[in-house]
Amino acid sequence: ITGSIVSLGIISGPVFGGVIIGALSWHWIFFVNLPIGLVGTWIAWRNVPDTRPGGQQRFDYGGAVTLFVSLLALLLALTLGQEQGFLTAIPLALLVLSLLSLILFLVIEYRVEQPMVDLKLFANRSLTINLVTGFLTFVAISGTILLLPFYLENVLGFAVQQVGLLLSVTPIALGVVAPIAGVLSDKMGARPITLTGLVLLILGYFAVSTLRTDTTVLGYLLRLLPVGLGMGIFQSPNNSVIMGAAPRHQLGVVSGLLSVTRTLGQTTGIAVLGSLWAARVYANAGQVIAGGATAASPTSQVAGLQQTYFSIAFLVILALALGIWGYMQERGVETSNVERVTVMD
């Protein structure tokens, strides 16, 4: 439920943002966060229990600083790379800084007694695979958040308020099926449910890659529906497996890893997919457009959109392949354990 609500909130942002911008102005999308943040802080203060670990605890300052520098440099590189090009001096320097800081972070975490992130957690194959597949799906879903508003407004000609409403098909579908997927995963096991969600996501992204300049509203909704359903079916059991693999005293650490995975997935997706879409738009237009990719003809924008979503579908196929491999590994371990018990009997 928690993971579903978080994912629902992330995907719903552009929906309400479009409505707010259309009704008021873009300034209000920042002001509206103030009351939401205050209410959320009050609810957390009143209801979240204070669970402090026993014994003497030491804060890992070295790990915290190096991880902060690594993530900050990476996010800045991805942001500036969209404007200046990823092979220009500043983005490249930031990427090198991010990599060096990450290496230093790993060295520190390996040596300190109480690391910020216990690297032994990644020895759990199930946790690692689910973190990676979750990252890939958030890279993919960022394409929906970033690119579809351009298509709906620039190509189909909808107003900003209408764009926000049309984007709501994904979070609505996600919100409906996510709790059901969570219940099913408790009864049937998480892996079959997550694989089903990934298959639906792949079908949805392939469907979105067929959007045209004359697609109807119904055609658009039918193409987006599998994306929302697939994300909802995948996300709940995937988060459940990740948190279930965490030792109780490291739930906060694993929860933080899950949040970082979501944030990095979205940021990476926005940077990479946005750049890919712009490059394909320019390629289809036969030239670099002075006003940017959004100033290109509707035909060029749609062609770029189709090619980008085709690439996104293959990205989720990679996530599916990882999920299937993880499922086979889990089945192999279960079979080995059964055989061992049989021999002992």
- What pLDDT band is residue 206 in, cutting at 50, 70 and 90? very high
Highest mean pLDDT among 20-24, 190-194, 292-296, 298-302: 298-302
In the predicted structure, residue 295 carries a pLDDT above the cut 70: yes
Q: For 329-342, how does the pLDDT look when each residue is reduced to its tens digit (9 = 90+)?
A: 777 655 555 455 55
Does one domain contain both 226 and 243? Answer: yes
Does one domain contain both 200 and 314? Answer: yes
Does one domain contain both 130 and 108? Answer: no
- Pick the range with the lowest mean pLDDT from 11-15, 227-231, 327-331: 11-15
Q: Is residue 24 part of a domain?
A: yes
Q: Is residue 56 part of a domain?
A: no
- What pLDDT band is residue 81 in, cutting at 50, 70 and 90? confident
Does one domain contain both 225 and 195? Answer: yes
pLDDT at residue 340 in the model: 56
- Find the domain containing 248 and state its range: 2-29+123-331
Does one domain contain both 131 and 274? Answer: yes
Query: What is the number of domains present in the chain?
Result: 2
CATH number at residue 217: 1.20.1250.20
Nearest to 205 by CA among 281, 143, 151, 276: 143
Does one domain contain both 148 and 111? Answer: no
Does one domain contain both 144 and 204? Answer: yes
Does one domain contain both 94 and 135? Answer: no
Calculate the average pLDDT of the chain: 83
Does one domain contain both 78 and 129? Answer: no
Higher pLDDT, 52 or 149: 149
Q: Is residue 343 part of a domain?
A: no
Q: Is residue 345 part of a domain?
A: no
Does one domain contain both 230 and 271? Answer: yes
- What pLDDT band is residue 64 in, cutting at 50, 70 and 90? confident
Residue that finishes a domain, picked among 115, 149, 184: 115
- Pick the range with the lowest mean pLDDT from 85-89, 235-239, 291-295, 341-345: 341-345
Does one domain contain both 143 and 276? Answer: yes
Does one domain contain both 289 and 326? Answer: yes
Q: What is the mean pLDDT of residues 98-103?
A: 94
